[in-house]
Amino acid sequence: MKFYIKIDTNTACQAIVKEQFEARGIDFELLNSSEVTIKKQIANEQLAALESDLSQYGIELISNPKNQLIQKIKDTIVTLVHEPDMPLTTISVYLSDKLNLSYGYISNLFSEYTFSSIENYFIIQKIERAKKLIIEEDLTLTEISYKLNYSSVAHLSGQFKKTTGLTPSMFKRIIEKRRESAEIS
């Protein structure tokens, strides 16, 4: 018997983090999907063991302040893209407001450490969300483009093709064919 598993990686990672911190008796607070506050000082050995255990799951503790800010920028973008109704604002204004930093600083830091622009990361996240909406929800491309604040279906389709190599319609047909062949098997 064959099964496919739908994984909410965010929820899974939070569960793993919680499990690992609790197993070590560390008093902590999970603030959001990737931010943890340790309430009491812990020994370096305990921290090293925690880092080792988490690394088995591909989870890394980030202590460098600049790397923490990069992660916070990524998390903020992902949160924006997954809001049920994305606010009508530019990514620069949104990030500046949420992080209380100038966009120039945020943008330069992000590019310096990731070798990519914030705008490119934002587009990739929007296309990932569009793919998820195509796969999981019965929405038209017009509804998806509206949900993701694209000016038109053509704009969404252009970015989709540039990012994935496929048009959204081609992607949808491939998914439908895979579902049909899975049902036959």
- Look at the pTM and tell me if it is higher than 0.85: no
Report how far residue 53's alpha carbon sits from residue 19's, in angstroms, rounded to the nearest whole number: 11
Q: How confident is the model at residue 185 (pLDDT cuts 50, 70, 90)?
A: low
Q: Taking the mean position of all CA atoms in its chain, how far away is CA 63?
A: 20
Fold classification of 65-185 is: Arc Repressor Mutant, subunit A (1.10.10)
> 19-23, 146-150, 181-185: which has the highest mean pLDDT?
146-150
Taking only the tens place, the pLDDT of each residue in 117-128 is 999 999 999 999
User: How many other CB atoms are there within 10 angstroms of residue 112's CB atom?
Assistant: 10
The pLDDT of 94-101, averaged and rounded, is 95
Beta strands in the chain (DSSP E): 28-32, 35-38
DSSP sequence for 82-127: TSSS--SS-HHHHHHHHHTS-HHHHHHHHHHHHSS-HHHHHHHHHH
Q: How confident is the model at residue 146 (pLDDT cuts 50, 70, 90)?
A: very high
Mean pLDDT of the chain: 89
